[in-house]
């Protein structure tokens, strides 16, 4: 057991800020001791990851959480970008934009489903997993979640995305656009699995946001919680 030091300097708000707050909470709980056990520190990390992932999911699932964020907004499928260009040329800009908006709305509706899966992964996290995160690269926690949850999230998201797309009119809008495109002379027919496309982009955006928040705290000298936590495990 080694003394656990905490930095009092302010940090950027976000995912790893929650890590610092929760670890501080662990220290306060053990304030009667001068040293913290590895179990206590790992417990604090798990709590912090729980809070952080919930906040990340809340951000992307809010209205415009995807649509107004240029880093994760879901664009017109690049596989059929030719279709978008052709439709815009004949004055259907609003229809194309409405379709793009509806895809992002579907992703925002499905995002809350990620919480339980993230929480499950955190609960199953071993001491070895936690050590790798604390001592890892700038997106070690994000990579942990991606490796542990991607398959399950995709299986859960796809039917949810499909349902949401029907509710917000994605499928209907898409069919209308493709019908208008097909009516144009000398155009090449294009196809895409829309459910798979939106599901993939929704998950990419979710993991991107978690990763961006993680990188902030790792790069901020005033809040480098991971460096401090490494001291706990020095022998």
Does the pLDDT of residue 67 top 90, yes or no? Answer: yes
What is the predicted pLDDT for the residue at 220? Answer: 52
**126-159: b (≥16 Cβ within 10 Å) or e:** eeebbbbbbebeebbbbbbbbebbeeebeebbbe
Does the pLDDT of residue 185 top 80, yes or no? Answer: no
Tell me the two tokens of residue 196.
């798979």
What is the predicted pLDDT for the residue at 218? Answer: 58
pTM, rounded to two decimals: 0.74
- Select the more confidently predicted residue: 181 or 193: 193
Q: With cut-offs at 50, 70 and 90, classify the pLDDT of residue 198.
A: very high
pLDDT in tens, 94-148: 888 988 998 999 999 999 999 999 999 988 888 888 878 877 888 888 899 999 9
pLDDT in tens, 160-175: 888 888 888 777 887 7
Does the pLDDT of residue 205 top 90, yes or no? Answer: yes
What is the predicted pLDDT for the residue at 221? Answer: 44
Give CA–CA dist 66/95, Å, rounded.
19
Does the pLDDT of residue 154 top 70, yes or no? Answer: yes
Q: What is the mean pLDDT of residues 70-97?
A: 88
- Select the more confidently predicted residue: 151 or 39: 151
Q: Can you say whether residue 76 is alpha, beta or left, with left for phi > 0 and alpha for psi between -120 and 50 degrees?
A: beta
How far is CA 47 from its chain centroid?
18
User: Are the C-beta atoms of 41 and 26 separated by less than 8 Å?
Assistant: yes
pLDDT in tens, 8-66: 334 444 555 555 555 555 545 444 444 556 676 677 677 767 777 888 899 999 999 99
CA angle 74, 77, 78 (to 5 degrees): 115
Tell me the two tokens of residue 89.
């040329």
For residue 56, count other CB atoms closer than 10 A to its CB.
Answer: 28
What is the predicted pLDDT for the residue at 6? Answer: 32
* Distant-in-sequence, close-in-space partners of 36: CB < 8 Å, separation ≥ 6: 1, 2, 4, 26, 27, 30, 232
Does the pLDDT of residue 75 top 90, yes or no? Answer: yes
């Amino acid at each position: 057991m080694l003394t656990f030091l905490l930095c009092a300097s302010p940090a950027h708000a976000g995912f790893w800020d929650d890590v610092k707050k929760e670890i501080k909470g662990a220290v306060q709980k053990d304030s009667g001791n001068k040293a913290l056990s590895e179990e206590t520190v790992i417990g604090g990390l798990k709590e912090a990851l729980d809070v952080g992932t919930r906040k990340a999911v809340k951000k992307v699932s809010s209205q415009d959480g995807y649509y107004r964020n240029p880093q994760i907004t879901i664009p017109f499928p690049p596989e059929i970008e030719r279709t978008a260009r052709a439709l815009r040329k004949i004055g259907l800009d609003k229809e194309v934009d409405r379709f793009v908006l509806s895809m992002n709305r579907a992703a925002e509706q499905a995002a809350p489903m990620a919480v339980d899966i993230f929480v499950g992964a955190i609960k199953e996290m071993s001491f070895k997993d936690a050590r790798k995160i604390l001592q890892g690269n700038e997106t070690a926690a994000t990579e942990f979640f991606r490796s542990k949850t991607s398959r399950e999230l995709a299986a859960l998201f796809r039917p949810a995305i499909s349902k949401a797309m029907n509710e917000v009119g994605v499928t209907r809008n898409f069919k209308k656009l493709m019908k208008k495109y097909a009516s144009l002379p000398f155009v090449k027919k294009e196809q895409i699995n829309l459910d798979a496309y939106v599901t993939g982009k929704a998950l990419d955006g979710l993991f991107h946001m978690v990763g961006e928040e993680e990188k902030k705290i790792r790069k901020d000298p005033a809040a480098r919680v991971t460096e401090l936590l490494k001291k706990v495990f020095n022998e």
